[in-house]
Amino acid sequence: MRKPLIYIIFCFFLILLPPLTVGMNSTEKPEGTPWFRDWTILVGLVTRHRHVHINGGEYVEFNAIFLHYRTHWFGNIRSGFFHHFDKIVLPAFYYGFLGNHIAAAKFNMGLAPY
């Protein structure tokens, strides 16, 4: 059971590797896009998430091990890859699956990649 899972994950990253290594930055709409239309999609491997309270709001905090992100932030669509333990904090409400070790979720907030 472990070998097929490792092969599936390996093929998953091979499929995503070309667009991830280059990165992407494109503009769909003007910079005046309202903030509530921002979103982030995460797919990959993460550490166990935990719920934290920041300024009265509930957020999810986790470290990204191998994580592909695609975010709509300030009118631009950005794509990239976290390949080491980057700390990520996003809203607790999301669509999709955020498990203990795997993330495939869409958040209604733009991720600010640095």
3-state SS, residue 87: strand
DSSP annotation of 101 reads S
Return the pLDDT at 74: 66
Percent of the chain topping pLDDT 90 = 0
- Both tokens of residue 92? 């607790």
pLDDT at 23 over 60: no
- What is the rounded distance in angstroms from the CA atom of residue 39 to the CA atom of residue 57? 18
Q: Decide: 52 and 89 in contact? Cβ < 8 Å.
A: yes
- Identify any residues that bridge with 60 across adjacent strands, giving them in sequence order: 51, 90
Return the pLDDT at 33: 46
Angstrom CA distances, 87 to 11, 30, 82, 83, stand at 25, 29, 10, 11
Return the pLDDT at 35: 45
Return the pLDDT at 21: 45
DSSP annotation of 72 reads E
